Amino acid sequence: LEIFGYLTRDGNNGVLLDTFHYKKGQPVTIAGQVGNDEFLYKFQENLLTKKGLSKVRIQNAKKQEQGEMLNFSIIFDYKNFTKKK
């Protein structure tokens, strides 16, 4: 549950998450929407400061055809849970 706190608070305003995928031995994948690329990079920087999260990488960011929002996905490692045995 700690990981959900990292994703939903501490300066993550403007980020709407709609997908969270977690499977032992694989990186965590999250996807959602942000108002602009500045919000996305701030979100990534914020995640990089969290203990237990590493290799936080933006996989894609694409502007929606209608509106100003960006759809994005990010992958990252979480503690030892994403490491293969």
pLDDT of residue 13: 73
Contact 7, 13 (CB under 8 A): no
Averaged over 42-68, what is the pLDDT? 91
Mean pLDDT of 58-68: 89
Average pLDDT, the chain: 88
CA distances from 56 to 30, 33, 63, 65 (A): 11, 17, 21, 26
The alpha carbon dihedral of 3, 17, 74, 7 has a sign of: negative
Give the pair of three-digit tokens for residue 69.
Answer: 């929002």
| Residue 11: per-residue pLDDT | 63
pLDDT of residue 81: 82
Cβ-contact 52, 78 below 8 angstroms: yes
Q: Give per-residue pLDDT as tens, 2-14.
A: 788 788 776 677 8
